[in-house]
Every structure is written in C-alpha cells, then in structure tokens.
C-alpha cells in the first residue's frame, strides 16, 4: 500500500518521505517507481518528535496486518501498535501536524443483513480489528480545538502493488486463478465484504489532505463504494469469468487443496462469522469530489492482466514472502527478527 500511495501523492506534487521497518523489503513482485524519497528504515517505536519538524501531515499506515504468530499473544502483537500510534499522534498534536490513521471496516465484524455506517455499533472479531477500534478511541480522546485527526476505515483493499499481498481475498483469488487455474474458498462464500481498489484508497487520502477539517473531534469515514459490497462467492465468480478455464473449489470439501497452508484464515478461531455490508454515504458528503472509480469487476480484470504480464506462476503465488503472517514467521524462525518484532 505504502509505495503505491507515495507514488500517487508525488504525482500531485506532494513532497513525500516514507519511513518503513523493512520487514517486507524483499517482498517485491515488481519494482516500485520510487518517485518519492527512498524508504528510510525506521521502526515507528523509535520515532522521535524532531523527525516531524517541517512535516505538514502524517499518514499512519504502520501496524501488524495479521494476527499472532507462534507463541505470541494478541497483547504481545497489538499493545505495542496501540502505544506507538498514540505516541506518534501526541507528537503530531504538539507540533501542529495533521494526522490521518489507516483504520478498517473490519471493526464492524458481524452485521448480518444490516448495512452499517460510522454510527453503527462495532463488533470486532479479531485482534487486528479490535486494535483498530482501540486506536480510534485513543485518537478521539486526543482530539481538541488544535488537533483534528482523521480515521479512514478502508474496505478490503485489492489491486496491483509492487509488494502485493496474496493474503487478502481478491488478490488471493485472482492470483490463485492465474497461477493454478483453481479458485479455492476457505468458507461457503456467503459472507459479505466491502472492497476497495488501491488507487481509490490513494485518492481518498489525497482528498483528505486537501480537506480543511478543524473540528475538535476525530473524523471517522468509511472508504469504499456500495456497489463493491459483495459476497466472497460473488467475487470468486467474477474471478472465474476473468480467468478462462479456472474453477471454484471449496476447502471444506477437500482439505488437501491447501497443502501449503496459505489459504486458511488463521485470524479467526473456530467458525468465521464475519460478514458486513457498509454504507459509504458519509465520505461522499464530506468529500464530494471523491468517488471510487474502480468496480470489483474492472479491478479484477485489470489485476488478472497485470499478474499475467509479470508473469505470476505457481511458484510466485506460493512464495511465503507475499503472505504477511507467514513471512514474519519465517523472519523469526530464521533468527532475523525477535519475537517482539525487532531486527536482530
């Protein structure tokens, strides 16, 4: 996400500097354009307030995007994330720097047939989504007349990226179909998810940077488009139509289909009840010039073409470097990262 966002913002003339821990430095499927200042290796836990001198806005993307690894508990993974986000926000508040936080629609968790909006009760079902909600509460408490943070609850992001993730639904299904001809679902496919093309995500951030938000509160907005609220099975069928000859399979019918352990979702214990459809009326009201340009169908067709051009073969698709949880586990088991996610 970060490299695509940096390029998007520099195309509008922003002077962008990217700080990154470097955990996924070698997870490149293509080379980034690098039209922004090269990634400066920095663990956000070590950030000092003087590093923000001369900065107008911070877009906070840093966080663990998957759930516990090995012996690590939710607290071990996410308490530091909450702490360093609050510290960073406090630094921005002292220095008068605008703060935009990358939150997630996953905070809604279970909504059944109801369409949820920013005023709806949240029901986070994983450590990841609970962490997003807790951080939003911290930011709301920090907000005052001089500090007006923004939390963008992104729908599930998909689309081409130099550091593509194959552990998110559309990227996984498209990559699997291109590489193997199989579209394997780890559920019955009936659950609903909102989806957001990465270029639309980038444009939403750009529009927020232009927004003169100065209210003494946290501005929370869902980012996406109602037409992209789809069931997992609907998404699978779109991918099948885009990749001729591909077929849909269900992991429940044949567990051997996931022999490499990349398809199963380890974020949820037992039955995965997450299902939610989201309203995006608020962002259209607050940012009238913003609209999602990409439908899931158009995005899948573009992604499939991009994956074929790379090309994405079975070896590439199954490489653990494109799966966040598995890659972090490998860094730990190979003695490169400590269990508190510090470089050794």
Task: Calculate what percentage of the chain has a pLDDT beyond 70.
Answer: 94
The predicted pLDDT at position 31 comes to 81
Span 183-233, pLDDT tens digits: 999 889 999 999 999 999 999 999 999 998 999 999 999 999 999 999 999
**Which structural domains are found in the chain, ordered by start?**
2-333 (3.40.50.720)
* Segment 225-253 mean pLDDT: 96
The predicted pLDDT at position 266 comes to 60
**Is a pLDDT exceeding 90 seen at residue 182?**
yes
The predicted pLDDT at position 35 comes to 56
Positions of E strands within the chain: 17-20, 37-41, 57-60, 98-104, 110-116, 150-154, 156-158, 182-185, 192-197, 219-223, 229-231, 247-250, 275-278
**Is a pLDDT exceeding 70 seen at residue 114?**
yes
Span 134-157, pLDDT tens digits: 999 999 999 999 999 999 999 999
* Segment 52-59 mean pLDDT: 96
Span 254-277, pLDDT tens digits: 888 888 878 876 655 545 678 999
Q: How confident is the model at residue 291 (pLDDT cuts 50, 70, 90)?
A: very high
The predicted pLDDT at position 6 comes to 92
**Is a pLDDT exceeding 80 seen at residue 32?**
no
* Residue 221 half-sphere exposure toward CB, CA atoms < 13 A: 26
**Is a pLDDT exceeding 60 seen at residue 120?**
yes
Q: How confident is the model at residue 69 (pLDDT cuts 50, 70, 90)?
A: low
The predicted pLDDT at position 75 comes to 81
User: How far apart, in whole angstroms, are the C-alpha atoms of residue 317 and residue 64?
Assistant: 22
Instruction: Output 261-268 pairs: Cβ under 8 A, ≥24 positions apart.
Output: 261/326, 262/166, 262/167, 262/318, 262/320, 262/323, 262/326, 263/172, 263/176, 263/184, 263/186, 264/186, 265/186, 266/66, 266/67, 266/325, 267/66, 267/67, 267/126, 267/127, 267/128, 268/125, 268/126
Q: Tokens 């450590």 sit at which residue?
A: 127
Biggest CA-to-CA distance, the chain: 58
The predicted pLDDT at position 292 comes to 98
User: How far apart, in whole angstroms, are the C-alpha atoms of residue 296 and residue 170?
Assistant: 9
Q: Tokens 């289909």 sit at which residue?
A: 257
Q: For residues 73 and 251, which has the higher predicted lDDT (pLDDT)?
A: 251
Q: How many CB atoms lie within 10 A of CB 207?
A: 17
**Is a pLDDT exceeding 70 seen at residue 19?**
yes
């Amino acid at each position: 996400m970060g490299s695509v966002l940096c390029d998007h913002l520099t195309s509008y003339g922003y002077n962008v500097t990217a700080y990154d821990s470097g955990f996924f430095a070698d997870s490149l499927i293509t080379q980034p354009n690098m039209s922004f200042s090269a990634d400066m290796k920095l663990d956000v836990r070590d950030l000092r307030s003087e590093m923000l001198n001369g900065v107008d806005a911070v877009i906070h993307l840093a966080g663990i995007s998957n759930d516990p690894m090995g012996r690590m508990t939710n607290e071990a993974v996410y308490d530091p994330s909450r702490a360093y986000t609050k510290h960073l926000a406090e630094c921005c508040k002292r220095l008068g720097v605008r703060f935009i936080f990358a939150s997630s629609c996953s905070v809604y968790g279970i909504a059944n047939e109801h369409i949820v909006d920013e005023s709806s009760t949240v029901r986070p079902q994983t450590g990841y989504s609970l962490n997003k909600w807790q951080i939003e509460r911290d930011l709301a408490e920090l907000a005052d007349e001089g500090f007006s943070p923004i939390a963008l609850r992104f729908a599930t992001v998909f689309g081409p990226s130099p550091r593509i993730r194959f552990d998110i639904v559309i990227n996984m299904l498209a990559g699997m179909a291109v590489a193997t001809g199989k579209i394997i679902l780890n559920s019955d496919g009936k659950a609903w998810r909102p989806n957001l093309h990465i270029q639309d995500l980038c444009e939403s951030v750009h529009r927020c940077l232009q927004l003169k938000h100065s209210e003494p509160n946290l501005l929370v907005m869902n980012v996406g488009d109602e037409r992209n609220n789809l069931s997992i099975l609907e998404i699978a069928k779109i991918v099948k139509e885009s990749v001729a000859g591909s077929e849909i399979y269900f992991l429940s019918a044949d567990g051997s289909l996931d022999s490499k352990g990349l398809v199963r979702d380890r974020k949820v214990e037992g039955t995965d009840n997450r299902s939610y459809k989201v309203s995006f009326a608020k962002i259209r009201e607050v940012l009238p010039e913003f609209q999602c340009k990409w439908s899931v169908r158009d995005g899948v067709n573009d992604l499939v073409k991009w994956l074929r051009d790379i090309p994405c073969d079975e070896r590439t698709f199954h490489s653990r470097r494109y799966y966040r949880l598995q890659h972090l586990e490998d860094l730990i088991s190979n003695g490169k990262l400590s269990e508190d996610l510090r470089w050794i």
